Amino acid sequence: MIAILLLISATFHPAQPAVGDLITVNFQATPVVLQPSAEYEVVSQHGSQVVIRTFKPRPFALSGRAGDVLFRNMIVPVRSVLAPNDPLTPAPLKPPRREPYEPLPFVLIGVAALVALGAWYAVMRLSKRVKPAPQAMATLLPPDERFRRAVEALLAREQPLRWAALADALRAYLAATSRVSADLTTTEALRVVPEDHVAAILHAGDIEKFSTLTVERNDFEQLARRALELAA
């Protein structure tokens, strides 16, 4: 039995392991079964190769079976990572290292702020120069003035569907003065404003807008001027 024990050999890698190193032990026989021990831990094992490690700064012994042979007290050398006669005094704390100053982000922020300020100034200057469109100015006028200008424009020149345009201007004026809702039909509107000239204008406008018939009336100017009397 003693002779058998002497035949068991193994190689270690690294040859002089330190605390916490992974130690690879290669046996010449397989399978290998190590006895559990509090001195080390088995990290992995494949056939005749066993990887172990320890966190105790001193040599330890392996015992177990390699193939059919028992072995005991196979010493594994372990060296400490501390210097000889180390007083175990903690190293002094060092203040955190300051990061180098990087001016580029602040430069980019400043450039962006200047661009935004310039854009705001340009918009303000442009808004003072831009004049309201004629349509926008017309919406600022009182309803009677808008109606008067619309009718005078129709009287000033010939244009297609002028009866429809006159009827729309009249409806808009009546709606703006709360006399007739814009949603009412011609029949409903004439119940509120039964004047003959209003009826003639609205009916002529309906014919131009909703049918293919031609309005055979020659009294456009007369009826338009009578409609202006509503805004007098």
Q: Is residue 120 domain-resident?
A: no
- State residue 169's pLDDT score: 92
Q: Which domain holds residue 217?
A: 136-231
Q: Is residue 49 domain-resident?
A: yes
Instruction: Please name the amino acid found at residue 10.
Output: A
Domain boundary among 28, 47, 76: 76
- State residue 3's pLDDT score: 37
- State residue 138's pLDDT score: 52
User: What is the b/e burial string over 36-71, where b = at least 16 CB atoms within 10 angstroms of the residue's CB?
Assistant: eeebbeeeeeeebebebebeeeeebebebbbeeeeb
Q: Is residue 97 domain-resident?
A: no
Instruction: Please name the amino acid found at residue 152.
Output: E
Domain boundary among 76, 94, 118: 76
Q: Do residues 53 and 23 touch, judged by C-beta distance below 8 A?
A: yes
109's tokens: 């922020």
C-alpha–C-alpha distance, residues 202 and 199, integer Å: 5
Q: Is residue 127 domain-resident?
A: no
Q: Is residue 199 domain-resident?
A: yes
Please tell me whether the overall predicted TM-score, pTM, comes out greater than 0.85 for this model. Answer: no
Q: How many domains would you assign to the chain?
A: 2
Q: Is residue 93 domain-resident?
A: no
**Three-class DSSP category at 198:** helix
Domain boundary among 43, 76, 109: 76
Q: Is residue 193 domain-resident?
A: yes
Q: Is residue 171 domain-resident?
A: yes
Per-residue pLDDT 10s for the chain (232 aa) are: 333 444 567 888 888 898 889 999 999 888 899 999 999 999 999 888 999 999 888 899 999 988 888 888 888 888 877 766 666 677 677 777 777 777 888 888 988 888 888 888 888 777 666 555 555 455 578 988 999 999 999 999 888 889 999 999 999 999 888 778 878 889 988 888 888 999 999 999 899 888 888 888 889 999 999 989 887 7
**Is residue 72 domain-shared with residue 148, that is, in the same domain?**
no
**Is residue 140 domain-shared with residue 62, that is, in the same domain?**
no
**Is residue 148 domain-shared with residue 65, that is, in the same domain?**
no
**Three-class DSSP category at 27:** strand
Q: Do residues 50 and 42 touch, judged by C-beta distance below 8 A?
A: yes
CATH code (residue 15): 2.60.40
